[in-house]
Amino acid sequence: MSLITEEQVVLDLTGADRHEATRLLGERLVASGRCTDLDTFIADVRKREETMATGLPGGIGIPHARSTAITEPSLVFGRSADGIDWGAKDGPANLIFLIAAPEGGGDAHMQMLPKLARALMKKDFKAALAAATTEAEVVRIVSAEVELDQPAAAPAAAAAAAPAGADATGGAAPAAAAAAAAPAATAAPVAEAPRVLNLVGVTSCPTGIAHTYMAAEGLEAAAKAAGHTIKVETQGSAGSSPLSAAEIAAADAVIFAHDLPVKDAGRFAGKPIVDVGVKKGISDGPALVAQAAALADEWRADPSKAAAATAATSGASGGLVSKVEAGASTGTKIRQWLMTGVSYMIPFVAAGGILIALSFMLAQVALGEQGAIEIVKYNLTSADQYNIAQNFSALSLTSWAGLLFVIGGAAFGFLVPILSGFIAFAIADRPGLVPGIVGGFIASTMGAGFLGGLATGFIAGFAARWISGWKVAKGVRGVMPVVVIPLLSTFITAGLFITVLGRPIKALSDALTTGLNNMSGSSALLLGVVLGAMMGFDLGGPVNKAAYFFATAGLATAGTAADAPQLKIMAAVMAAGMVAPLAMALATTVRPGLFSEPERENGKAAWLLGASFISEGAIPFAAADPVRIMTSSVIGSAITGGLVMLFGSTLRAPHGGIWVLPLIGSFLLFLLALVIGVVVMTTIVVALKSRDTHLAEIDATATV
């Protein structure tokens, strides 16, 4: 079946904004029977738009999404005479393609979507669409570039259907030609200039439907125009044909145009790399190719650059990634640097916290009420009965509890160094790891806690980035990443912290710890209310993440105390984060008539999401009705957060929801606080929605 029909063409598209225009296009899919639920599909498209605007340079809009409401891969074309703002920097879009793919679309169908993306890079294709006078003409123009069925036996058709990763013309290079080209490339004189370069690239975008392939097409067209060859690995929805080791080895330079971390980026160690966002691959292909060519010539003239890059990018750290957006505001970057550190720290928190919590549980069974106090005496260094390495007995429950405690404590010992190291990594990439981790260890040793780790992380990151930017003699470049950068940045970070910053930050950390330890009654309740409200405000957004960061970072200073206030904060934050999705699940169950069919379906999924501490389960409801849902969420979550703090429930695990319930101190009171918040939010949501003057219309929609 064709991707596009005459019914899926709108030659005079209108709309106050892109959302209204998208709905008009989506209605054509409903009319053609390819969309079973317009609201669900539009919600998926809008969620995609929130990730990254889908307007492209040259007056193009490509709203797209995978959705459970779509039955088969489909295209809807819209042409706007006045143009509609689709988020592109160069102005509104006149040619709009709504790309709809089933949630689990097969590979054969998904391969057609990259073809449309590539076709949109062709001037004659866009000109023909702009000049078309009938729906049938548009269908003919599009179908000439994008076809669902390709005769397997037709060489020409096979060449036209070649996936990304083809030669510079967009067609697949025959095996014989590739074999002939390899010796030719090898035999080319190294000193020859100008010369034909062998380039490779990787493209990706968050959903992998269009930008991925348009960037690949842009790079291929630019390389061809410059007289070079390029093979692009598209890490998108239609699958990927990975570049071979031989192709990477033969490459003169690499171009990354991506908005997702490049998979197995260590493959490209030792190659000059141009690294940009995916939209640059679409709009600035010639500039990127020229930049890659310049880097290739520079590296060819100075072999030490390749050696230095190999040393800096190879090894165990090759798979590490940091999602810090290029061009983001200073505030956004600071948050992303912090969250990078937290994301790498959390596995240590989870492993250590859960092991320690299990050790306390076993200790109470083996030793009674004093078990949690007694078990913290176990270690690996003493010469008495508490040295678990020398006195472990497989038949002793106490020994198992001691073993779990020692292992969990060891994991906890890495919290501040890892937090610091990966904040520095986010700022300066791999050169920041050594000074960051060493600085974090020193901060931990001095008792400066997570505040010290934050300080050393930022100092190390900026010191390493500054030193990495030095212009040095050629003879020194090879040792910069392995000797000079780690040596100097570590000295600066550690020296500055030990002599200047360490004691004041330790004093501040001690004051914070003392304040937390002294919290009781109204002060604990107030902190819980504030943190709970933050968790319920934007459901996974920056405010929510700030509260979560405060809780997880606090675990690093909780030590092994069973009732540390930081553990109460973690419990309060997790409980508050569970309220909104569970409340919406309950609301859609008790008053289904207040919600549309898609919302009721989302409500079913929200039970599991909420129980698992995934606040984002309430986002579909908040997106459709932000004022009422967010108001209700803030109130319900704040109540739960305050009650958990007041009840004194504790938690060492940074995540898990009901799945870590046995590890929660005073878990019955934890559940009581959660139930109260959920009931309060549900009551407010139902009350506010029941006052809707368009209730009859909502009820009608919900029963369709």
Catalytic residues: 64, 205
Measure the CA–CA gap between 342 and 339, rounded to whole angstroms: 5
Question: Would residue 95 be called left, alpha or beta, if left means φ above 0 and alpha means ψ between -120 and 50 degrees?
Answer: beta
- Residue 569 backbone phi and psi in degrees, to 5: -65, -45
DSSP for 491-517? Answer: HHHHHHIIIIIHHHHHHHHHHHHHHHH
Q: What angle do CA 199, 202, 207 make, to 5 degrees?
A: 160
CA 531, 533, 536: angle at the middle one, nearest 5? 110
What values do phi and psi take at 241, rounded to 5? Answer: -100, 95
In this structure, what DSSP letter does residue 422 have? H
Separation of alpha carbons 634 and 448, rounded Å: 33
First CA to last CA distance, the chain? 28
CA distance 372 to 354: 14
Contacts of 78 by beta carbon, 8 Å cutoff, 6+ apart: 9, 10, 13, 21, 24, 25, 95, 96, 97, 98
Classify residue 671 by burial, with Cβ atoms within 10 Å: 0-12, 13-18, 19+: middle
Asked if residue 155 has a cis previous peptide bond (ω within 30° of 0), the answer is no
CA distance 685 to 626: 11
Give per-residue burial for 173-184: e unless 16+ CB within 10 Å, then b. Answer: beeeeeeeeeee
- Rounded Cα distance between 113 and 101, Å, is 9
CA distance 225 to 232: 16
Alpha carbons 164 and 73: distance in angstroms, whole number: 19
Among 632, 660, 490, which residue's Cα sits nearest to residue 575? Answer: 660
